[in-house]
Structure 1
C-alpha cells in the first residue's frame, strides 16, 4: 500500500482484547499513515477512547498525555488479582454477599478518594525500569521497587451496586491507575481487596467517546469517508489561547525570527500564567509559539514547511 502524507487526530473506540499498539497499527494501515502514535495506553481488557495522532499531529501528543480522563469501571469486591484486573490469577478473600454493604457505605468511602491521593504504580504497567516496562519483570516473577506518587481524582461517583460488583464513574488526572484505585476501594470498604473487572474510557481532555469510531466502522468506509473522520491537528490544542498573525509576521515566525507586535495587545491575553499560544495565519494553524518577557513571540513547535506549503501555497512565497 502506498504511504500517504496525511495529518490529523483519529478518535478510536478501542475494542476489548486488543493492546493499544495493536489498535494503533490497524488504524495506521487503514490510513496508510507512515507516522502515527496513540496518546494514553489502554490495557487490553479496557475499551473506549484512544486518540491516535497522525502525521503533523504527532508533534503535539504530549498535550493529550497530560489531559484529564474519564472512565466507567466495574469493580469486583472481595477478590484479589495478581495484575489488579481480570487478566491475572484471581483468588477470593471475602464473601461480600454475606455482608450488609450498602450504596450509602460505598458513597461514603468513595468520597475519601476524591482530590489528591497517593498511588503506588502496579508491577503490571508500562512504566520503565532500566529501559524495560515493569510488566516484563512482573511476568518473570520479579518485583521492582516503585515510588508512590500523587495523582488527582476530580470526581468519583457510584453508578450501581449489585452483589459484589460495584460500578463507578471516575474523572481523574494523568498518571492515575484505575486498577490501583479499584484495589484501594475494596480495602477501604472492608472487603480485603478488589480487582478491575472491566473498564471503558469515556473522555480524554475535550474529546468524548461519542465522537469516536470503531475499527469495524472504519474498515467499511472508503478513503474519503475515513479521511473525514480525522479531526484537525489543532483540535488537540483547543485549551491553548490563539494569536492571529499577518503574512509578514507568519513568515518571520516560520523562518525562525522573533516577532514584535508593535504594542498591539488586542490579540494576546496576558492575564494567563501560561506563555504558550496557538499561531494562525488567516485561520490556518502554523504551530505553537511562546510569549517572551517583552511580549514578543517566538516559535515553539511548528508544522513542517512541507506540510504548510501543501496546505497554504502562498504563505512561504
Structure 2
C-alpha cells in the first residue's frame, strides 16, 4: 500500500470474566485477568510521528513482568535480553541493540478503510513483539495485527500445562471482543499465526473461531516431538487426549513452516501427526538449514545492529507467511 506505514499501539485492558490472582480482594488490580494487546496497523506517516526503538519494545517486557506480579521482577530485563542475544550470536552490543530503530510508528494515525485481522500467538513465554518485523510488513500491506503474549496463570509464567495454554487461547478470544470497537477491522477476514508453543494455541483458537479463514504455524508445537523430557510428553498428552482436542477439526487452509537444522542435536522418539486434524488444504514446508529461533525476528535485529552476516531464513519465512495470508484474506495469488 503506497505511503502506508506501520502504526503501533498497546491496548491495556482487563478480562473481567476470568480470575487472575486467586483469592485476591475485589479492589486488587490483579483480581481479574490483565490483557495487553500489541497492535500493528496500516497508518499515515506524519512529521510528528515517533519511531519505536528496540528499548521501547523490550521495555514492554519489563513493564509487564512488574505489572503482572505487582513487584519489581522486570527491573533490568531489557539489558539482560539484549546482552543474552549479543553473547549468543557473538555480534553487536547492548547499546546498539537497544537503540535499534524499528519501522513501527508509535500511535500513528490509522488509515481509513477496512483491513483483515491477523491474530498472532507468541512463543513459549514470548512477548508480542517477538516478530515485529513481520508485523510491520503486514501492516504496510494492509493488515491489522493483534499480537498476544504467552502469559500463563498467575503470576504469569507459561508452562506446558493445559490450563496455561488455555490462558493464551482465551486471551486471543478476549482480544477479538475488545477490538470490536475498531471500525477499520474487517472481522469477516481473520487469519491466525502462531510461533512455537503459540502454534498449538493458534490451532485451538482456530477450532473455536468460526470466522477464522486460515492459519500459519511457524514451527509450531502442535506437532509435538516425543523425547526424553517425560514431563513435557505427559503435559502434551493431557492436552492431546482432552475432549476438546480429540474432537478438534481444522477446516481452514493451513500452512506449516518447519525448521530443518543442518545438525540436529535433539533426539526424539516420534512426532505427533497433527495433520490428522486438518480437513482442508494443508501445506508443510521445511526451511532448509533453519533453526527454531530463526522463526522470530530478534536474531535479525542483533545482526543488523552489529552489521554482522544475516542469514536469509527470516526473510524467506516472512515472505511465505505474507503470501499465504494475502492469498486467503486478500484473494491475491
TM-score tier by shorter-chain length is under 0.3
TM-score by length of 1: 0.24
Report which of the two has the higher share of strand: 1
Greater Rg by CA: 1
Report which of the two has the higher share of helix: 2
